[in-house]
Copies of this chain bind each other. A is one copy, B any other.
Amino acid sequence: MMIEQVRKENPLIHCMTNVVVTNFTANGLLALGASPVMAYAKEEVADLAQIAGALLLNIGTLSTEQIDHMIIAGQAANEANVPVVLDPVGAGATSFRTTMSKRILEEVKVSVLRGNAGEIASLLGVQATVKGVDGSMEGDKIELAKQAAKQFNCVCVVTGEVDVITDGSVVKTVANGHPWLTKVVGTGCLLGAVIGAFIAVERENLVEAATTAVTFFGIAGEQAFQQTNEQGIGSFQEAFLNQLHTLTDDQMKQLRRNEA
């Protein structure tokens, strides 16, 4: 599973994502070597989802109508055996988001569910004791991810200082990443799209594909920070897109830090 494979196959990723991050997501996918298509209208989302390599559903700036269209797209993707990534942005923050995320999970077969610990916990109805998303909570995070993977019958990616990827039995963790990634809006949302690009070219092993995506993303953040140091997030954001564009498999092998 290699970044070169994504760059070679150039998978089409149909993104139904929020208005805040749509440009950054498209540029991130292009930098990576994938082909983004953003489309939201009920008249065409099924057509596009069925020819895509993966479909991303991100509820960041949801409305009831958009969720309806996401479900149309998701079910079309399911019929065509196109993998679906769900990013339940802000689930738990409002009951509307929790409810709508659950509705998608009930009506669409999701391949990969990506969120932070609080979002995933809210979907499980678990008390948000997982608030401090740091190293000491790692054990809890793995259990949380496994529980979500089993309940929703998908691969679950719980991101944080250490990222957890699991299908309910196999568990991978990724220690790569940089705190400044949380200072650029839409990095989490873009990660969902990047996972889509990797699973589009490796459908047989979703855990492996998602782990590589998360590792690649984290290393790009580390390298971007090293290059721009403390100049500020304007420079960091530009360097991060450059890294998505130029990072190689050899660099990844050297820099990856996977534990567990």
Contacts and interface: CB of A to CB of B under 8 A. Distances in A.
Interface of A: 18-24, 26-27, 30-31, 36-41, 43-44, 47-48, 60-64, 90, 93-97, 183-186, 230-235, 237-246
Contacts of A27: 184-185, 233, 237
Contacts of A22: 19-20
Closest 10 CB pairs of A and B: A232-B242, A234-B241, A234-B238, A232-B245, A26-B185, A44-B94, A44-B96, A43-B96, A234-B242, A47-B94
16 contacts: A19-B19, A20-B23, A23-B24, A23-B186, A27-B184, A31-B232, A38-B60, A39-B94, A41-B96, A47-B94, A48-B93, A48-B94, A232-B241, A233-B241, A234-B237, A234-B240
Q: How many copies of this chain are found per oligomer?
A: 3
Given A183-B30, A185-B27, A242-B231, A41 B20 contact: no
Contacts of A20: 22-23, 26, 38
A104 to B, nearest CB: 15
B242 A233 contact: yes
A184 B27 CA distance: 6
Contacts of A47: 94-96
Nearest to A242: B232
B18 A41 contact: no
A181 to B, nearest CB: 11
A61 B22 CA distance: 11
